[in-house]
């Protein structure tokens, strides 16, 4: 994989590099920003923020609720156990298990959505630099059409440009 990227100590400069890449005609989808912490206060930190994760979790919770309601009732009627004058399938007590399964479904769906949409686990091979772990912010483009054209956009304010 070919790539060109800059490493920046300052998030303001990283933001400027992102803006420069855009000005050079690189689309947002092709710009990669990698950091060792989230940068909520910077515009580049809000790229790709849109997600259906809350809706997926809610839907999974609803599915868990309905499935547990059905399975509990069905199994209680299939193996009827008479206990202390209670109905065979009492909603009061079933509600406890239904609640737990609803929440568990939502939690598991959230984790699966995270893994799928964040692209993890991955086997590597993508653009990365271990200096990110020291606090540097990586701004770059994977498989650029012409890396030399992008170098001026990244070589700003002390940023170090690397190509692979």
Give the footprint of other proteins on residues 137-156 (CB under 8 A).
Answer: none
Among 27, 38, 85, 146, binds other proteins (CB under 8 A): 38
**Residue 141 C-beta: closest distance to other proteins, Å:** 13
Contacts of 105 by beta carbon, 8 Å cutoff, 6+ apart: 60, 61, 63, 64, 65, 67
Q: Which is nearer to other proteins, 100 or 149 (CB)?
A: 100
Q: Is 162 in the site for other proteins (CB under 8 A)?
A: no
Q: Is 37 in the site for other proteins (CB under 8 A)?
A: yes
Q: Is 23 in the site for other proteins (CB under 8 A)?
A: no
Distance CA 108, CA 32 (A): 28
Nearest to 89 by CA among 73, 105, 75: 73
Task: Identify the three-state secondary structure at position 34.
Answer: strand
Listed ranges 19-27, 37-45, 146-154: which one lies at the site for other proteins (CB under 8 A): 37-45
Contacts of 82 by beta carbon, 8 Å cutoff, 6+ apart: 88
Nearest to 109 by CA among 154, 77, 148, 62: 62
Q: Is 10 in the site for other proteins (CB under 8 A)?
A: yes
Contacts of 80 by beta carbon, 8 Å cutoff, 6+ apart: 88
- Residue 50 CA to chain centroid, in angstroms? 10
Instruction: Write the interaction track for other proteins spanning residues 40-69; mark x where CB under 8 A is met and - where it is not.
Output: xxx-xxxxxx-x-xx--x---x--------
Among 5, 26, 35, 150, binds other proteins (CB under 8 A): 35
Name which of residues 78 to 137 contact other proteins (CB under 8 A). 79, 81, 83-84, 86, 90, 93-94, 96-97, 99-101, 103-104, 106-108, 110-111, 113-115, 117-124, 126, 128, 130, 132-136
């Amino acid at each position: 994989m070919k790539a060109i990227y800059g490493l920046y100590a300052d998030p303001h400069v990283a933001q400027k590099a992102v803006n420069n890449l855009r000005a050079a005609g690189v689309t947002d989808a092709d710009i990669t920003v990698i950091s060792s912490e989230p940068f909520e206060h910077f515009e580049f930190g809000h790229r790709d923020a849109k997600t259906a994760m809350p809706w997926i979790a809610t839907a999974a919770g609803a599915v868990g609720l309905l499935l547990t309601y059905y399975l509990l009732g069905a199994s209680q009627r299939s193996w009827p156990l008479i206990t202390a004058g209670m109905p065979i399938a009492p909603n009061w007590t079933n509600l406890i298990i239904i609640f737990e399964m609803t929440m568990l479904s939502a939690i598991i769906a959230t984790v699966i959505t995270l893994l799928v949409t964040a692209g993890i686990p991955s086997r590597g091979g993508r653009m990365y630099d271990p200096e990110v772990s020291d606090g540097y912010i990586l701004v770059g483009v994977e498989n650029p059409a012409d890396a030399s054209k992008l170098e001026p956009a990244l070589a700003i304010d002390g940023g170090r440009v690397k190509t692979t």
